[in-house]
Structure 1
């Protein structure tokens, strides 16, 4: 007798969509069976008319724990992930202090083990530029490393110490150190000198309205930083991944290097759905870095998704409080950048498939399989196959997701001005993590500790 049998679903497998029964034993997929194969199970889920996907993997996610629990905690934000069909999150190193040493890494890992409802991996920050620290975090299980090519945020220096490497020599050294681990370097790519130039021009006008945010960080700021880091990487040859690509110019620059070195890119739902008009509409609630762009940039990003230039759609889930956003609503320069979104990655991509922007199989690759492959966990995660981890997302393509922030699970729900009021075609019905149902029909059933630490 097996633990769980999911009957009658259209299953998205590496070979394509198939009508199968999926048997789960413990935390693994035990078998893929022909429909209605006689099987005894402790629990049977009738998934007729629904689709079973490999659990979504959000490769760009922020909790910041143990810092700022008022914004969100491991428990609150991974409950939100579970509600959104996300079974694994990759937590970025911004915290207080920044995750730049093995000791800090271990503390964050152990806290995640105690509190996370879904699986999690941790990035390290290599910007202290010390080999023993970078190697130490790799030994403790870092999934990858993250750098910013910008200065640290004023008044948040300890959160970014070891993460920000604005000087070219620092970037080069960070690439060299990460190369020795065999892991990926993920880059927040914006050119600090050019950003300084544009910011000075805008501030000289005395303006502080929302539109100044985009004017101070135009697409060339992003494109130049991508070109610089890729040029440096020609000397090193490490695996490079560009975070949250936002613009046609940045995408064109990324494409120039693809085929010449091991470089990939991602984008996020907010850049695929919203233009700079959202800043005028929502003010500080729509401030994110890099900024929102134009309709032509959105069109270019979708084309980059379809042609494979961008391998992943990920959320950059970044919770803040209403008080923090409201304090800066009249001064966009002072507003903290970031917004929640992990609950709507899967519905948004199901909706994109329903609208013909991508196929369902492409959507699954973009939110699960491709990230698993890029970061060295494919085979265990990112696919439905015998022996793989039983991380599964059951969805109903005929149902709709109607977003009401009052019903969201993120602690930062009231700052959700992006998704509130939107309707997506497709709905997450059940989320299974390590063989256990952690979300079912609108209710989070998972408990702290259900999530496990994921290493490459």
Structure 2
């Protein structure tokens, strides 16, 4: 029996947009129909004037739950995801304690299942780097693995134990251990020794209140050197390597130089594509993220890398913090915690790139959804609206606008959204459906707590 028909909209299919109606049964796409020919259904969604996209899959997301509820909870941040057209997200393993043992993974999976409004996958950290731990994570359905090439931040050792590997020998061990699993190995890549060197120099010579200081303390060479070493090691290891949040022209040059040498991919984020360090200086410590937002030259290089297929993913790196945490470090970029909310602005930002003719609609969707679904083994269940796929949809108004106002987002971190405050993106999420049920109606989140499902490759 048909449960729902979405009618009147232009639907993005793998070959491009098409004027079809979408019928839904049992939470999955039942069929694609010429306008007006879909079977009768008890519910109809009128998408006239809208474009129907497969629900967005964000492969890089942080909420750290159940720790730090003052920053946001699974409920608050998956509600924000629904408001942004994101129907599936992958939660990184930074938690308290770190998601580096199978037991912690199971606890987090149960916690997310109880509270999530949208579907979710969970990363694992390699932990003790034994085959037994690795294989148990695979059995439990870890969507991928994550490591840092930086040491644990001071005072946060338990959040990074089994995740942070600043030594190259350990990095190679992790790549070799996880090669052949079929799961991506995602790396936050910055050189630990260069970070220490440049931070010491910046502390001695730079104004801690300046928005340009953070970039000076973590310059692009820290990233590019770490990425070059990883790519060189992966020629030997053969892992399914994925470089997180690329920020710089220098790192793009490294990616180009290593093209074809091993199985690797790379991502960037809207904060690096749509903002520069000038915006960070304006917004202050609330716009501090790691790695730093850089210059217009770096931004241009990232867009060119997307055009050339060097960078194939755009993700949020959504990382909420409480206002009091950020504000306590006002005027001190060295002390401020790094992170900014981004789950509600990913799709509007990509639609803005379509409006500016930087991308086609299909390219934009591939970058923030379909490519990720394929890389992580979820296609064609996610990332398409072909028959049999999950009926996850983002109905967008390409002619509309998203006006970002600090305090006006759904995210619990709405009060630290200074980076995007006042920004207008051309494009608006008018409705979000998860498994054929409306979870965002354009004004309010209507999705139920616990309706999100755990997804595995």
Normalised-by-shorter TM-score class: over 0.9
* Contact residue 329 and residue 335 of structure 2 kept, 8 A: yes
Shift in Å, 1:121: 0.4
Look up the match of 2:303: 302
- Call closer, same or farther: CA 1:38–1:253 in 2, change over 3 Å: closer
Shift in Å, 1:203: 1.9
Distance 1:436 1:419 in 2: 30
Distance 1:135 1:284 in 2: 41
Shift in Å, 1:129: 1.8
Look up the match of 2:334: 333
* Contact residue 5 and residue 38 of structure 2 kept, 8 A: no
Shift in Å, 1:259: 1.4
Distance 2:38 2:411 in 1: 41
Is residue 104 of structure 1 aligned with residue 123 of structure 2? Answer: no
Query: Which secondary structure state, in structure 1, belongs to the residue aligned with residue 344 of structure 2?
Result: helix
* Contact residue 407 and residue 417 of structure 2 kept, 8 A: no
Runs of 5+ consecutive residues of structure 1 not aligned to the other structure: none
Is residue 65 of structure 1 aligned with residue 65 of structure 2? Answer: yes
* Contact residue 396 and residue 430 of structure 2 kept, 8 A: yes
Look up the match of 1:91: 91
**After alignment, is 156-165 or 175-184 more displaced?**
175-184
Normalised TM-score (structure 2): 0.98
Shift in Å, 1:330: 2.0
* Contact residue 127 and residue 164 of structure 1 kept, 8 A: no
| Structure 1 residues 411-448: Cα deviation after superposition (integer angstroms, max 9, x where no partner) | 01000012221111111011011221100021100011
* Aligned 1:331-370 pairs, distance under 5 A: 331-370=332-371
Look up the match of 1:168: 168
* Contact residue 249 and residue 298 of structure 2 kept, 8 A: yes
* Contact residue 395 and residue 427 of structure 1 kept, 8 A: yes
Is residue 55 of structure 1 aligned with residue 55 of structure 2? Answer: yes
* Aligned 1:398-413 pairs, distance under 5 A: 398-413=399-414
Distance 2:128 2:414 in 1: 34
Query: Which secondary structure state, in structure 2, belongs to the residue aligned with residue 406 of structure 1?
Result: coil
| Structure 1 residues 220-244: Cα deviation after superposition (integer angstroms, max 9, x where no partner) | 1100000001111111101000000
Shift in Å, 1:208: 2.0
Q: How many residues end up aligned between the 2 structures?
A: 456
* Aligned 1:183-332 pairs, distance under 5 A: 183-205=183-205, 207-210=207-210, 211-332=212-333
Distance 1:275 1:38 in 2: 47
* Contact residue 51 and residue 394 of structure 1 kept, 8 A: yes
Query: Which secondary structure state, in structure 2, belongs to the residue aligned with residue 41 of structure 1?
Result: coil
Query: Which secondary structure state, in structure 2, belongs to the residue aligned with residue 147 of structure 1?
Result: strand
Distance 2:127 2:271 in 1: 28
Query: Which secondary structure state, in structure 1, belongs to the residue aligned with residue 126 of structure 2?
Result: coil
Distance 2:208 2:420 in 1: 25
Distance 1:49 1:20 in 2: 13
Query: Which secondary structure state, in structure 1, belongs to the residue aligned with residue 52 of structure 2?
Result: strand
**After alignment, is 278-287 or 437-446 more displaced?**
278-287
* Aligned 1:139-150 pairs, distance under 5 A: 139-150=139-150
Distance 2:442 2:240 in 1: 40
Shift in Å, 1:283: 1.5
* Contact residue 127 and residue 170 of structure 1 kept, 8 A: no
